[in-house]
Amino acid sequence: MQKLRLVAGLLGFTGVALGAFGAHALRESLANRGMTSAWETAVLYQLVHSVAIYAATGLGANSLKAGYAWALGIVLFSGSLFALALGGPGWLGPVTPLGGIALLAGWALALRSAVTKVPTP
């Protein structure tokens, strides 16, 4: 649980930093490539799922699995979009939907956790 909180904090921190970096230092470069929207989407998904990961650390086992799925999804989805926005290789394009699948899997696990009866102490 503590490791997952560390992951959430790191992803949240870097999400804010990458958002600021894209808005300021990379503004012109991203605009010239037509990739501003891709960068903003990557930052949004990273930040939203960082909060979800952190919230999942206080819930049951399925929620922890959801947190790990979201972490993987952030790396694949947002990571590939960041790389593509910076002119990375085209083979990264198919990685983005794999990240989306991992994010969806995380939400499916969160739903499963919500409907699974948890014994009350």
Residue 121 is assigned to a structural domain of this protein: no
Domain limits at 71?
Answer: 2-115
Residue 77 is assigned to a structural domain of this protein: yes
Provide the H-helix boundaries in the chain. Answer: 2-23, 27-33, 36-56, 61-73, 79-85, 95-115
Specify the number of domains making up the chain.
Answer: 1
30 pLDDT tier (thresholds 50, 70, 90) = very high
Residue 120 is assigned to a structural domain of this protein: no
* Backbone dihedral angles phi then psi of residue 97, each to the nearest 5 degrees: -65, -30
Please tell me which residue, 58 or 7, carries the higher pLDDT value. 7
Which among 114, 74, 85, 67 is positioned nearest to 23, based on CA atoms? 85
Residue 79 is assigned to a structural domain of this protein: yes
Residue 81 is assigned to a structural domain of this protein: yes
**64-115 confidence digits (pLDDT tens):** 787 888 889 889 988 999 899 899 999 999 999 999 899 888 888 777 776 7
Asked whether residue 61 carries a pLDDT value surpassing 80, the answer given is: no
Residue 40 is assigned to a structural domain of this protein: yes
Residue 35 is assigned to a structural domain of this protein: yes
pLDDT of residue 65: 84
| Model pTM above 0.95 | no
Residue 44 is assigned to a structural domain of this protein: yes
